Amino acid sequence: MLIWAVRILFFLVVMAVMLLGFREGGAFDFDIDDVEDAPFYQLLAVVGCFCVFFLGIIIDLLVPRKRVYAFAGIFFGVLMGLVFGMLINYILDLIYESHNIQPHQAIYTAQNGIKSMVNILCCYITITFILQTKDDFRFVIPYVEFSKQTKGVMPMIMDTSVIIDGRIADIASTNIINSPLVVPRFVLNELQTIADSADRLKRNRGRRGLDMLNKMQGNVNIDISVQEISLTPGEKSEPVDLQLVSTAKKMNGKIITNDYNLNKVATIRGVNVININDLANALKTVVLPGEVLNIRLIKPGDQHDQGVGYLEDGTMVVVENGRSGIGREVDIMVTSVLQKSSGRMIFGKLDGKQLRG
């Protein structure tokens, strides 16, 4: 509601500028004797005011999720552009004076038009320069370079696999993550491609990923955004995994994934990685050799006379001499624990007298 009030206020300001401009002595009050086709210029001024209004509204609607860094870049771009424009216009004034140009209404109008275009051009160049180089901005002194220092939390960049997996949504809902979650535009495009796949399994996975994104965006406690990342043409031609690594280096962020290969590639290139599988393993119940567990055996193992059961967190338990206890709850003694990045396995042995009916 507040944003619409601002839009209406913007419209009223534009109308007020037009009305004041057409008053006697205003900016649009052209003297018929001094300016030919004055009505045409007045019509052009009206059209220009409305174009400014509609351009502002269109930009506002096309960019629904604004970022503070973009606002700061535009502000400083305009400020620097006006400074450069004033310097250039000052040089132009010196050139006019050196040529002894006689003052005339038409000449003044042309000079003001040139000055306005110079200011607009300078603002455009400085804004685009700041927005495109915000991550590589440097203040350079001969032989000394002061590079940008990153403060605060590092953004977490999600890949396709971790979005489809969905556990990140539950983890973020616990408020344990205090960093902004970033979904690069190329990751979202990959998700949409998977969701439109002719293969039913891939299509379901892609739709699940889009549902997880909608779920996280609907949670007010999760700071998540889809961002357009400025990559070079060479980086854009690379596979998505390498684009993620390049994005993390540009944003000085971390990658969240459960892809083993991406984990290795990012580590080699010096990018911090959070593997959801490693996090899940770290949160599993700690079991030490010699402890007694009560589990239900549900199927035979690969080796002779083995039984297999599972803990509540999904950890597989392999029991020696446990085949006879399949379908029952048994007490086992833990003999060893095998911990790997892909998961954890517990090995135990069974005393036949401990079987429960």
The CATH code of the domain that includes 206 is 3.40.50.1010
Q: Please, are residues 339 and 281 in contact by the beta-carbon 8 Å criterion?
A: yes
CB atoms within 10 A of CB 293: 17
Instruction: Please give the backbone phi and psi of residue 173, each rounded to the nearest 5 degrees, phi first.
Output: -70, -20
Profile the chain (357 residues) by mean pLDDT over runs of 10 residues: 69 71 55 54 67 71 62 76 84 73 55 71 75 52 40 81 90 87 91 91 91 89 87 86 90 89 88 86 80 89 87 86 86 85 79 50
CA–CA separation, 69 vs 131, rounded Å? 9
The reply to whether 163 falls in a domain is yes
Burial of 62 (0-12, 13-18, 19+ CB in 10 A): exposed
Q: What is the pLDDT of residue 65?
A: 56
The answer to whether 289 and 297 are in contact (CB under 8 A) is no
pLDDT for residue 144: 38
Distance of CA 148 to the CA centre of its chain: 20
Same domain, 89 and 73: yes
Q: Based on the domain organization, do 242 and 342 belong to the same domain?
A: no
Residues in Cβ contact with 128 at an 8 Å cutoff, skipping those fewer than 6 apart? 77
Query: SS3 for 117?
Result: helix
- Mark whether 115 and 62 lie in a shared domain: yes
Decide if 71 contacts 59 (C-beta within 8 A). Answer: no
- Using left for φ > 0, alpha for ψ between -120 and 50, and beta otherwise, residue 35 falls in beta
330 in the same domain as 266? no
Cβ contacts of 331-335, under 8 Å, gap ≥ 24: 331/292, 331/293, 331/294, 331/356, 332/292, 332/293, 332/294, 332/295, 333/290, 333/291, 333/292, 334/287, 334/288, 334/289, 334/290, 334/291, 334/292, 334/293, 335/289
Return the number of other C-beta atoms located less than 10 Å from residue 84's C-beta.
Answer: 16
Task: Determine the distance from the C-alpha atom of residue 173 to the mean position of all C-alpha atoms in its chain, rounded to a whole number.
Answer: 18
Which of 252, 281, 310 delimits the end of a domain? 281
pTM metric for this prediction: 0.49
- Please check whether residues 270 and 291 belong to one and the same domain: no
With b meaning 16 or more CB within 10 Å and e meaning fewer, what string describes 277-286?
Answer: beebbeebee
**Domain co-membership, 291 together with 342:** yes
> Is 273 inside a domain boundary?
yes
| 18 occurs within a structural domain | yes
Q: Is 141 part of any domain? A: no
Q: What is the pLDDT of residue 193?
A: 92
CB within 8 Å of 271: residues ≥ 6 apart: 245, 248, 249, 254, 255
Domain of 170 in residue numbering reads as 156-281
Q: Which CATH number is 349's domain given?
A: 2.40.50.140
| Total domains, the chain | 3
Cβ atoms of 222 and 173 closer than 8 Å: yes
- Asked if residue 120 and residue 162 are part of one domain, the reply reads no
Tokens of 296: 């239900």
Phi, psi of 90 (to 5 degrees): -65, -40
DSSP E strand boundaries for the chain = 139-141, 144-146, 156-158, 181-184, 224-227, 254-257, 273-275, 292-300, 307-310, 316-320, 329-340, 343-350
| CA angle in degrees (0–180, nearest 5) for 157-140-130 | 50
The alpha carbon dihedral of 59, 60, 61, 64 has a sign of positive
DSSP state of 352: G
Q: Is 348 helix (H, G, I), strand (E, B) or coil?
A: strand
Residue 74, token pair as written in the block: 């535009």
Query: In this structure, is residue 169 part of a structural domain?
Result: yes
Is residue 209 a contact partner of residue 229, using CB atoms and an 8 Å limit?
no
Tokens of 242: 């390498």
- DSSP assignment of 303-338 equals STT-EEEE-TT--EEEEET-GGGTTSEEEEEEEEEE
